[in-house]
Amino acid sequence: MIKYIGSKRRLVPVLSAIAAASGARSALDLFTGTTRVAQAFKQQGLAVSAVDTARYAEVFARCYIETDAASVDHPALRDAIAYLDGLGGRAGYVTETFCVRSRFFQPFNGERIDAVRDAIEAEFAGSPLYPVLLTSLIEAADRVDSTTGLQMAYVKRWAPRSFAPLRLRVPELLVGSGSAIRADAARVGATLGHFDLAYLDPPYNQHRYFTNYHVWETLVAWDAPEHYGVACKRIDARADHTKSVFNSKRTMIPALTALVRELSCELMMLSYNDESWLSLDALVEMCGHHEAVRTLGLPSARYVGARIGIHNPAGQRVGTVSHLHNTEYLVVAGARGPVARATAALEAVGLAPTG
C-alpha cells in the first residue's frame, strides 16, 4: 500500500470490529484513498463500493475491490508482472519531469517506470489485469520515491530507499465482490443506493490530494501534462474541476452536512480530526437526524513532515513544530440497535466511546 496522508491504518481494526458486530452485508467506503478500509470490509465478506475522485484511488479500487481473486488468471498475472519487471529502462515523461527537472525518483528508476507504464498501456489496455498491473507499478514506484510521503516536494538529498531498484510485486488480491466508482462524493451521495454500513473519511483541511499525489494522477492518466513549479505539478491542478469542496472551509461544512443527510445507510461511521474546521459538537449535531450518535476519540501521531519541522529552501530549520499528536474522532450514527451493537464492539476491544 502506498504512503498516504490520512490513511486509516490504525483505525482499521476498530472499523472492522464495528462492521462485524453490525452484521452488515454491504458497505460504502466514501473517500476510499488507498482502499485500506474497503479492503478490510471486503475481507470480512461484505460487498463493498469504494468511491473517490482520484484516478489512482479508482485504479486501487478496481484492483483490490472490484477484482475477484477467485476469477483471476493467476498464472497470466504472474507472467505479466515478471515480464514488466524484466523490461529495461527507456527515458520518457517520468524521467524528464520527475527525475531531471525534479527529483522524485532516481533516473535509473524513472526510466524503468516509463518503460513499464508504456508497456501496460500498449499491451494490457482493456485486459482485466490492467488495474492490477498499474497498481503494482504505483506501489513499486512508491517504495523507491524520494519524498516524505507527499508530492508537493521531494527531499533535498536522495532518500535511502530511492537507491533500490524498482521491483514489481503481484498485488494481494481479495476474493469477493465490489465496485470502484470515481466520482465526487458531494454529487453522487444521493444516487449510490442503500448500504448497511457507510464509512466517510473526507479531507479535513485545505491540503489537496490532487496536488499532494499529482505524480500518481499522471502515472494513471498517462497524458504527459504541462507542469509548473519546483514539484512539476500538473497544470490542471490550477483548474476548478480538480478542486474539492471538502478542501475549503466555506464549502466543506454545507457539503458534508448535505452528504450525511442524503446517504442511505443503517449505520454511518465518520472519521474526523481535531485539526479540522469542524468541532466534534458540530459533527454530532450534523448527525442529529439519526436516532443515536456516539463518538470515540483516538490519539494519533501526526504526518511525518509535521514531525520533521519547517525548513527554508536551503534546508535550514526555521520554525518549530507546535505538536506531534492529534486526536482522530470516529462518529458512529444510526438506528439505536446498530449503534448499541457498535458501542458494545468498541467496549469489547477496550475502547469506550467518549460521547
Ligand X SMILES: C[S@@+](CC[C@H](N)C(=O)[O-])C[C@H]1O[C@@H](n2cnc3c(N)ncnc32)[C@H](O)[C@@H]1O
Instruction: By CB under 6 A, name the binding residues for ligand X.
Output: 4, 6-8, 31-34, 36-37, 51-54, 57, 184-186, 201-203, 209, 244-246
Instruction: Note the residue count of the chain.
Output: 355
As given in the structure block, the three cell numbers for residue 153 are 516536494
Distance CA 230, CA 73 (A): 42
- CB of 349 vs ligand X, minimal distance in Å: 19
The single residue listed with the C-alpha cell 524521467 is: 95
Phi-psi region of 232 (alpha: psi -120 to 50; beta: other; left: phi over 0): left
Of 99 and 286, CB closest to ligand X: 286
The single residue listed with the C-alpha cell 501521531 is: 301
- CB of 319 vs ligand X, minimal distance in Å: 25
**Which segments of 251-353 are extended strands (E)?**
264-273, 292-301, 310-311, 317-319, 325-334
As given in the structure block, the three cell numbers for residue 276 are 479540522
Of 244 and 343, CB closest to ligand X: 244
Of 4 and 130, CB closest to ligand X: 4
- CB of 220 vs ligand X, minimal distance in Å: 12
Of 6 and 171, CB closest to ligand X: 6
- CB of 343 vs ligand X, minimal distance in Å: 22
- CB of 247 vs ligand X, minimal distance in Å: 7
Of 52 and 111, CB closest to ligand X: 52
Tell me whether strands 292-301 and 310-311 are parallel, antiparallel or unpaired.
unpaired
8 Å CB contact between 199 and 15: yes
Q: Say which DSSP state 71 is in.
A: G
- CB of 202 vs ligand X, minimal distance in Å: 6
Of 200 and 333, CB closest to ligand X: 200
- CB of 221 vs ligand X, minimal distance in Å: 14
Distance CA 349, CA 87 (A): 48
Of 52 and 114, CB closest to ligand X: 52
Residue 30 forms beta bridges with which residues? Answer: 51, 200
State residue 333 phi and psi, 5-degree precision: -140, 150
Distance CA 82, CA 115 (A): 14
Tell me whether strands 317-319 and 310-311 are parallel, antiparallel or unpaired.
antiparallel
Distance CA 164, CA 146 (A): 11
Of 110 and 131, CB closest to ligand X: 131
- CB of 182 vs ligand X, minimal distance in Å: 9
